[in-house]
Amino acid sequence: MSTHSVNIVEIGEVLPHANAERLEIVPIDGWQAVVKRGQFKRGDYAVYIQPDYTVPTRRPEFAFLAKEGKDRHRLKAVRLRGVLSYGLLIPLPDELRDHVRGTNVMEELGVERYEPPITNSGADDLPADQWPETYASKFDVESLQNYPDVFRPNEPVIVTEKIHGANARYLFVNDTFYMGSRTRWLKPDGNHIWRRAADKTPEVIAFCEAHPGVVLYGEVYGSVQSLKYGATPGEVRFRAFAALDRGRWCDMVPLYGLLERHKVPVAPKLYDGPFSMEVVKALAEKDSTLCDGQMMEGVVITPAFERRDDEIGRVALKHISARYWESAA
């Protein structure tokens, strides 16, 4: 379960910037923002907006981010005098001063979650009355920075490469093969990337037919987003990373074993062992295992044995690489 919010925060520590007298560093949960010296002090209320949200530059708080021809700006990370600043921390606007700490002010500030521009014509949508009668949850994962204590000390985890592409779902039920994006089911005869990925990876269709009712999740990648993984123009590929069997998420180790027996390509496994924040952060900064010389978008951390958390639901978190956050939108 992924919850998108932009919250009012209370400033705690304000740290000096070792390389700039006029800058300071403010930690916010697992993130940090570099700000002007004296802009915030302990106890102040502010609004923190994480990376991968977009802000309306018509508002005065965001006007300094305006670019010609664009009315919204995507927040990522910038390195200010050698220190990474993630997203944006702004003083609490006057019209929000009656709100308490923790209030979600995303709508009031006009902030939106960034959605990558994936080509998908509405004509490709499967009519709702033809959707499969199977529970097939959207696949979303929260950032590890937001929930650093979800993983138990030394809990066995699997760390896989997070592939930069478009989420996909494949399913065979009632003698019909279905394909979908993260939020829609799509026509099987369309010329969309999900159809082309299935055509290029017939093992996916064979796996689904052999396991009716199991929803196979993965990433369509290649000529899809900014990281191309060496694909030629128009080329797309697929890698599986999860499966839902009649409402229950499959444990990673047996799932990967089953997929490999069916020769279904999977998201590369980078680590199998006790959870370590240091290991996760180091792995995320490595080059992609799918293409020499290309950065990794990040990693996904999943317990070796599936479990749920009262706050986030299924336990699975992502950690995005600093190199990706710094890269151009």
Sheet with 142-143: strands ordered across:
142-143, 317-320, 298-303, 156-162, 269-274
Which of 255, 274, 251, 275 minimizes the C-alpha distance to 266? 255
Residues 183, 247, single domain; the answer is yes
What's the length of the chain? 329
Whole-angstrom distance, CA of residue 87 vs CA of residue 73: 11
Residues 221, 143, single domain; the answer is yes
Residues 269, 309, single domain; the answer is yes
Q: What is the CATH number of the domain that holds 188?
A: 3.30.470.30
How many domains does the chain contain in total? 2
- Please identify, among 70, 95, 113, the residue that sits at the C-terminal boundary of a domain: 113
Whole-angstrom distance, CA of residue 220 vs CA of residue 231: 12
Residues 52, 15, single domain; the answer is yes
Q: Please report whether residue 141 resides in a domain.
A: yes
Residues 81, 185, single domain; the answer is no
Residues 163, 243, single domain; the answer is yes
Residues 140, 186, single domain; the answer is yes
The model's pTM is 0.86
Q: Please report whether residue 1 resides in a domain.
A: no
Residues 260, 182, single domain; the answer is yes
Residues 228, 90, single domain; the answer is no
Question: Can you list the residues of the chain whose pLDDT is less than 70?
Answer: 1-3, 117-122, 328-329
Residues 294, 198, single domain; the answer is yes
Q: With contact defined as beta carbons under 8 Å apart, do 170 and 216 qualify? A: yes
- Please identify, among 113, 138, 169, the residue that sits at the C-terminal boundary of a domain: 113
Q: Please report whether residue 289 resides in a domain.
A: yes
Q: What is the CATH number of the domain that holds 53?
A: 2.40.50
What per-residue confidence (pLDDT) applies to 117?
A: 67
What per-residue confidence (pLDDT) applies to 328?
A: 53
What per-residue confidence (pLDDT) applies to 237?
A: 96
What per-residue confidence (pLDDT) applies to 329?
A: 46
What domain range is 158 assigned to? 122-326
Q: With contact defined as beta carbons under 8 Å apart, do 75 and 49 qualify? A: yes
- Please identify, among 88, 113, 138, the residue that sits at the C-terminal boundary of a domain: 113
What per-residue confidence (pLDDT) applies to 107?
A: 95
Which of 245, 238, 214, 216 minimizes the C-alpha distance to 166? 238
Residues 52, 173, single domain; the answer is no
Residues 164, 106, single domain; the answer is no
The long-range contacts involving 153-156, CB below 8 angstroms and separated by at least 24 positions, are: 153/275, 154/274, 154/275, 155/274, 155/275, 155/303, 156/272, 156/273, 156/274, 156/275, 156/303, 156/304, 156/305
What per-residue confidence (pLDDT) applies to 233?
A: 93
Q: Please report whether residue 2 resides in a domain.
A: no
